[in-house]
Chain A
Amino acid sequence: MTAKPYLYFEPEKIARLRNLNLLARQAVEGFITGLHRSPHKGFSVEFREHREYSPGDDLRHLDWSAWGRSDRYFIKQYEQETNLRAYLLLDVSASMGYQQSGPMSKLSFGCFLTACLGYLMTRQQDAVGLITFDDDVRVHLPPGSTPAHMDRLFKRLEAARPSRRTAMAPVFHRLADTLAKRSLVVILTDLYDDPEAIGRALQHFVHKRHQVMVLHLLDPAEVDFPFRDVTTFVDMETGEKLQIDPRSIGEEYRRDIAEFLEQYRRECSDRNIEYVQATTATPYDRLLLNYLARRKAMR
């Protein structure tokens, strides 16, 4: 058994996703030679490398000469196919370290998702950048699409630790001003902040013509609140303590959290922002698969 080269990168899961590309709903500028719809169609591209054919690949890109030489199917890939800049914004605040009912913490889950998305995007020649944040930006890796860039991205993910308090609205405002225009901004966070302030910050991204996608990550225990015994709950970001008989407030809590999630769903919908809720109990590959399938159907 070979050891995994990266903690948050599982090639076997990625293999199930590789023929599905992340499709931007809005047209972005750049050169599109692959599956991206682009207003700049027909622009010439340079060959970069071959990749073995896998079922589902467009037959238009089969390299018939290579087939003639080796009797194997290869798909031609082009350097100029990189026409999308994507920024993966990962929340590394203390609350993301929570793990109760799920198989991993929200941060780990976010890292896996980030790694998968990064890999998929670089495979279709998109440039992917990574930004981790809590109450400030902690890591800023500019977009890139080379294997070496992905190596850096994975290593930064592995180094991410939940530590500080969340204050994402000012961070988002600053990033909206500094990121290159017309980028895909994917935010992975638990959104524990003021919904209205965050809504305004997300609107800022939209205003700068970014396409924004929010992956709202939650532990199942945060939704179901399965606790029974009297418990002293400790706030992971502030250290504050509160002793509670969970059975007495469970119903009310679940109603409040549902209201909270609904509020974000409404905020994002109103601003034309893609919003996906996910708990860590959901296999992230399935999550991506479902999500990308749904995106493909929308094309």
Chain B
Amino acid sequence: MTFATPLLLIGLLAAGIPPLLHLMSRVRAKDQPFPTLRFLRRSMEKTARRRRLQNWLLLLVRSLLLAVLAVAVAEPIVRAGESVLGGDAPAVTAVLDTSYSMNFRSSSDARVDRFAGAVAEVGQLLSGDDQPATAALLTATASPADAVLTPRLDELRKRLDAARTSAGRADLAAALQHAGTLLAGQTNPNRQVWLFSDLQKLSVEPWLAGQTDLGEAVLFVVCPSRPSADNAGIVSLRVAGPAVAGAEVEFVATVHNSSPQPRTAEVQLVVDGVTENDSPGAVCQLAPAGEADAEAEVRFTRRFAEPELVTGRVRLTRPDALPTDDERLFAFRVRGPVQAVVVAGPAETDGGLAFDPAGMLRLALDWRGPAQRELSWPIRERLVRATAFGPESLRDVDAAFFCEVPTFDAAGVRSIRRFVRDGGTAWFFLGPGVRIEEYNRWFFTPSGDGLLPGKLAPAVGQVGDLESAQPVGEVDVEHPLLQGLYPEPSDYRVVLAQRHVPLAVPPGSGRVLLRLAGGDPLLVERRVGKGRVLWSAVPASSRWSNFPVTPLLLPMVVRSALSAGGASVENVSGIAGEPFAFTPPKDPTDIVVRTQVTLTPPDGQPRSLRIGPDGTVRVARTDQPGFYRWKIDGTDRGGTFAINPYGPEGELSFVTRDELQSELARRGVRAYVGGTLREVRGLAVDASAGRNYWDLAVAACVLLLVFEGLLANRRRSLSHAARSAGLQA
């Protein structure tokens, strides 16, 4: 607030007159003889509180009246925007929203590229008569720490010309906070933060929810007008399943509708250029934005028969206003079939298949008969007799199943340990022929680094038609091997065991998947190195238990084999703008230590990256969505990963300019929000013109005068009324 004639504010001193007179009247009261003070004293006591209140109120009103009068004659002028656009050239930080929602084009106004418009507006800000003394350019999707204030505006204009939208996540709050921090260190009193954004809720709400401090800077927001959004996009893609030739891979795409109208979205799965869109969920109906059914999941499944590098995309067939979110990429390598070996102890095949543990397992691992060999199946199995088992038996094997092997030799034990540590899965089925003490000797170590989690004890329980059996009392239904096999945990009680090998599992040494009602584990998993060991307290035949003939064991065996060797399709794509890490495979035959990979991003500009000590390569810059191809230098080994746009950015819901203005005003942020640079400047100029409030001040004076009169005369009129009443009496 300023004053047209600030000298007249000296009249504020008049506000001190009433208190002064009050004090003086106390001192200069004349003496008046009176017959008795008895009634005066009594009246004073009765009216003391009211008099004090009225006196102070009257004093206050009179002082206020004089003060407001002084302010009125000085003509107060409120200039909200003063010093914003006037005076010295400002220090400016321009924050440009480079999120890909800025590429949104409405069908009714397809010529308008909002990002290009915003870039042009920033260009105007940095040039012309009103150009700043110093400026910085920040983008909402890049690290704001790189931006610095500079008086060389030409450089900024060049950077502006090179600015592009990013498919990554926008962080307006961080950019604005850094903009405020940059200006806080400036001596220039005229500090401005300019934000050029479409005010997408995704970006604005975290900013408003945080504690962004712009210091003394004034905020200007340029937000182009937006017609209603007509957009559907794929906000996420999940690829799950074993990346093994012959195994089924599932693709789950989440499609979101940002339109105010319902939409029909047609979704395609494209793999290596082959279109497959005949899946049942390929066409989905989406409710208008904001409703529960505005989002839907579309599922595709696909088997890949041969080992290969699989790249592809899930996409919307109909282009819309925002193409960036119309497809999601994936890339993963499908390996050859899982190699499994079944090591069989002395066979007792006279009881049929149900009493042939190796036969049961082999059937589970590859169910195809001679007639079905043409069909694709992800597991290859072979049988090795226990007597023939040696280190060579585990070469190129992913999963090994040991069926009642009585004992091992030292070389065999060493090969099993190495096999597990390197990532293999070993599953031991204990049974009648197993020598417990030999197992404890080879696989248990008191230090806890053996394959056994605890010591084995001699088998307990009797097998027979009249013998009792223990049901399963406890099931780890969350374990991937068991997940979904039975609908209810109580269903697992169909598993019964008459005899079993008690296995100690100290805390932390293993995970009990199935536990008998008596408390002994039935199936235990123990992680060792990169691999794992499974211990079954009963054989893979139905000699001691019905476990092998329930619908549990065979799926578990297949799952354990498919998941062996890390053959899953997790981590097949990353998000733009976020670091991505991958692990190049090692070749055991390669005697040279490889330390570099060459990465070729979608723009085709290769760059070298180092392989870290842990064997991973970290890619810090992933701004461009697309396929990134890499190759280990000096070899022909390489791979591909996909980078996708940040999915939620496709949800085109926005904060209106009025909403933002009122929210900023509520927080006490001095801000001007408009559709263009010119409009925002106009708002600031209007505000800086100010308004003379002398008329309101005079009106306040009159009101105070009336109030003072009423207050002061209240007692007089009461006195007069009392006198009149007395005379009438």
| Contacts from A to B (Cβ < 8 Å) | 95-96, 98, 106, 190, 192, 219, 222-224, 227, 229-238, 240-245, 247-258, 260
Q: Select which of A244, A251, A257, A258 is within 8 A of B729 by beta carbon.
A: A258
Q: How far apart are the CA atoms of A66 and B698 in the complex, in Å? A: 90
Given contacts A230-B25, A249-B51, contact A236 B723 (CB under 8 A): no
Residues of the B chain whose Cβ atoms lie less than 8 Å from the Cβ of A252: 42-43, 46-47
Residues of the A chain whose Cβ atoms lie less than 8 Å from the Cβ of B47: 248-249, 252
Residues of the B chain whose Cβ atoms lie less than 8 Å from the Cβ of A229: 25, 29-30
Q: Are B716 and A247 in contact (CB under 8 A)?
A: yes
Q: Are B723 and A227 in contact (CB under 8 A)?
A: no
Report B25 CB to chain A, min CB distance, Å. 5
Report B215 CB to chain A, min CB distance, Å. 53
Residues of the A chain whose Cβ atoms lie less than 8 Å from the Cβ of B43: 249, 252-253, 256
Given contacts A232-B29, A243-B26, A249-B47, contact A254 B36 (CB under 8 A): no
Given contacts A98-B33, A254-B722, A254-B723, 5 further A-B contacts (CB under 8 A): A192-B38, A240-B37, A247-B719, A249-B43, A254-B726
Q: Say if the beta carbon of B54 comes within 8 Å of chain A.
A: yes
Q: Name the residue on B nearest A238 (C-beta).
A: B37
Q: Can you pick out 30 interface pairs between chain A and chain B where the beta carbons lie within 8 Å of each other?
A: A192-B38, A229-B29, A229-B30, A231-B32, A232-B30, A234-B31, A235-B35, A236-B34, A236-B36, A242-B41, A245-B51, A245-B55, A247-B715, A248-B51, A248-B54, A248-B55, A249-B44, A249-B47, A250-B715, A250-B719, A250-B722, A251-B715, A252-B46, A252-B47, A254-B719, A254-B722, A254-B723, A256-B39, A257-B39, A260-B39
Residues of the A chain whose Cβ atoms lie less than 8 Å from the Cβ of B31: 231-234, 241
Q: Say if the beta carbon of B592 comes within 8 Å of chain A.
A: no
Q: Select which of A236, A237, A243, A255 is within 8 A of B722 by beta carbon.
A: A255
- Interface-central residue, A227, A236, A252, by most chain B CB under 10 Å: A252
Residues of the A chain whose Cβ atoms lie less than 8 Å from the Cβ of B54: 248
Q: Are A98 and B40 in contact (CB under 8 A)?
A: no
The 4 closest A-B pairs by CB, nearest first: A95-B35, A252-B43, A249-B43, A248-B51
Q: Are B715 and A234 in contact (CB under 8 A)?
A: no
Q: Select which of A233, A240, A253 is within 8 A of B32 by beta carbon.
A: A233
Given contacts A248-B47, A249-B51, A253-B43, contact A98 B34 (CB under 8 A): yes
Q: Are B36 and A95 in contact (CB under 8 A)?
A: yes
Q: Name the residue on B nearest A98 (C-beta).
A: B35
Q: Say if the beta carbon of B388 comes within 8 Å of chain A.
A: no
Q: Say if the beta carbon of B718 comes within 8 Å of chain A.
A: yes
Q: How far apart are the CA atoms of A67 and B385 in the complex, in Å? A: 184
Q: Are A232 and B36 in contact (CB under 8 A)?
A: no
Q: How far apart are the CA atoms of A192 and B32 in the complex, in Å? A: 18
Given contacts A249-B51, A250-B715, A253-B43, contact A235 B36 (CB under 8 A): yes
Q: Name the residue on B nearest A192 (C-beta).
A: B36
Q: How far apart are the CA atoms of A229 and B24 in the complex, in Å? A: 12
Q: Are A230 and B29 in contact (CB under 8 A)?
A: yes
Q: Are B38 and A249 in contact (CB under 8 A)?
A: no
Q: Are A233 and B40 in contact (CB under 8 A)?
A: yes
Q: How far apart are the CA atoms of A61 and B716 in the complex, in Å? A: 59
Residues of the A chain whose Cβ atoms lie less than 8 Å from the Cβ of B51: 245, 248-249
Residues of the A chain whose Cβ atoms lie less than 8 Å from the Cβ of B25: 229-230
| Contacts from B to A (Cβ < 8 Å) | 25-26, 29-44, 46-47, 51, 54-55, 715-716, 718-719, 722-723, 726, 729
Report A166 CB to chain B, min CB distance, Å. 9
Residues of the A chain whose Cβ atoms lie less than 8 Å from the Cβ of B719: 247, 250-251, 254
Q: How far apart are the CA atoms of A256 and B43 in the complex, in Å? A: 7
Q: Name the residue on B nearest A259 (C-beta).
A: B39
Residues of the A chain whose Cβ atoms lie less than 8 Å from the Cβ of B34: 98, 233-236
Q: How far apart are the CA atoms of A260 and B35 in the complex, in Å? A: 14
Q: How far apart are the CA atoms of A118 and B715 in the complex, in Å? A: 45
Report B104 CB to chain A, min CB distance, Å. 73
Q: How far apart are the CA atoms of A223 and B41 in the complex, in Å? A: 16
Residues of the A chain whose Cβ atoms lie less than 8 Å from the Cβ of B30: 229, 231-232
Given contacts A248-B715, A249-B51, contact A237 B29 (CB under 8 A): no
Q: How far apart are the CA atoms of A256 and B45 in the complex, in Å? A: 12
Q: Select which of B38, B44, B716 is within 8 A of A244 by beta carbon.
A: B44
Given contacts A251-B715, A255-B722, A258-B726, contact A190 B32 (CB under 8 A): no
Q: Name the residue on A nearest B716 (C-beta).
A: A247
Report B687 CB to chain A, min CB distance, Å. 49
Report B727 CB to chain A, min CB distance, Å. 9
Q: Name the residue on B nearest A96 (C-beta).
A: B35
Q: How far apart are the CA atoms of A103 and B55 in the complex, in Å? A: 35
Residues of the A chain whose Cβ atoms lie less than 8 Å from the Cβ of B32: 227, 231-234
Residues of the B chain whose Cβ atoms lie less than 8 Å from the Cβ of A260: 39
Q: How far apart are the CA atoms of A106 and B39 in the complex, in Å? A: 18
Report B37 CB to chain A, min CB distance, Å. 5
Residues of the B chain whose Cβ atoms lie less than 8 Å from the Cβ of A242: 37, 40-41, 44
Q: How far apart are the CA atoms of A230 and B36 in the complex, in Å? A: 17
Q: How far apart are the CA atoms of A241 and B29 in the complex, in Å? A: 11
Residues of the B chain whose Cβ atoms lie less than 8 Å from the Cβ of A253: 39-40, 43
Q: Select which of A233, A250, A254 is within 8 A of B37 by beta carbon.
A: A233
Q: How far apart are the CA atoms of A189 and B310 in the complex, in Å? A: 125
Residues of the B chain whose Cβ atoms lie less than 8 Å from the Cβ of A219: 35
Q: Name the residue on A nearest B44 (C-beta).
A: A249
Q: How far apart are the CA atoms of A136 and B327 in the complex, in Å? A: 120
Q: Are A236 and B39 in contact (CB under 8 A)?
A: no
Q: Name the residue on B nearest A239 (C-beta).
A: B33
Residues of the A chain whose Cβ atoms lie less than 8 Å from the Cβ of B726: 223-224, 254, 258
Given contacts A190-B35, A237-B36, A250-B715, contact A224 B55 (CB under 8 A): no
Q: Are B715 and A243 in contact (CB under 8 A)?
A: no
Q: How far apart are the CA atoms of A234 and B47 in the complex, in Å? A: 20
Q: How far apart are the CA atoms of A232 and B40 in the complex, in Å? A: 11
Q: Are A236 and B715 in contact (CB under 8 A)?
A: no
Q: How far apart are the CA atoms of A268 and B46 in the complex, in Å? A: 28
Q: How far apart are the CA atoms of A224 and B44 in the complex, in Å? A: 17
Q: Name the residue on B nearest A233 (C-beta).
A: B34
Given contacts A251-B718, A256-B39, contact A236 B33 (CB under 8 A): yes
Q: How far apart are the CA atoms of A227 and B723 in the complex, in Å? A: 13
Residues of the A chain whose Cβ atoms lie less than 8 Å from the Cβ of B26: 230, 243
Report A279 CB to chain B, min CB distance, Å. 12
Residues of the B chain whose Cβ atoms lie less than 8 Å from the Cβ of A245: 51, 55
Q: How far apart are the CA atoms of A140 and B647 in the complex, in Å? A: 119
Residues of the B chain whose Cβ atoms lie less than 8 Å from the Cβ of A251: 715, 718-719, 722
Residues of the A chain whose Cβ atoms lie less than 8 Å from the Cβ of B33: 98, 233-234, 236
Residues of the B chain whose Cβ atoms lie less than 8 Å from the Cβ of A223: 726
Q: How far apart are the CA atoms of A10 and B680 in the complex, in Å? A: 97
Q: How far apart are the CA atoms of A234 and B31 in the complex, in Å? A: 7
Q: How far apart are the CA atoms of A244 and B26 in the complex, in Å? A: 9
Q: Are A231 and B35 in contact (CB under 8 A)?
A: no
Q: How far apart are the CA atoms of A283 and B555 in the complex, in Å? A: 130
- Interface-central residue, A106, A236, A251, by most chain B CB under 10 Å: A251
Residues of the B chain whose Cβ atoms lie less than 8 Å from the Cβ of A224: 723, 726
Report A269 CB to chain B, min CB distance, Å. 16
Q: How far apart are the CA atoms of A230 and B726 in the complex, in Å? A: 24
Report A194 CB to chain B, min CB distance, Å. 10
Q: Name the residue on A nearest B22 (C-beta).
A: A230
Q: How far apart are the CA atoms of A232 and B37 in the complex, in Å? A: 11
Q: How far apart are the CA atoms of A1 and B40 in the complex, in Å? A: 46
Report B61 CB to chain A, min CB distance, Å. 16
Residues of the B chain whose Cβ atoms lie less than 8 Å from the Cβ of A247: 715-716, 719
Residues of the A chain whose Cβ atoms lie less than 8 Å from the Cβ of B35: 95-96, 98, 106, 190, 192, 219, 222, 235-237
Report B193 CB to chain A, min CB distance, Å. 58
Q: Name the residue on B nearest A252 (C-beta).
A: B43
Q: Name the residue on B nearest A162 (C-beta).
A: B35
Report B594 CB to chain A, min CB distance, Å. 100
Residues of the B chain whose Cβ atoms lie less than 8 Å from the Cβ of A255: 722
Report B48 CB to chain A, min CB distance, Å. 9
Residues of the B chain whose Cβ atoms lie less than 8 Å from the Cβ of A192: 35-36, 38
Residues of the A chain whose Cβ atoms lie less than 8 Å from the Cβ of B718: 251
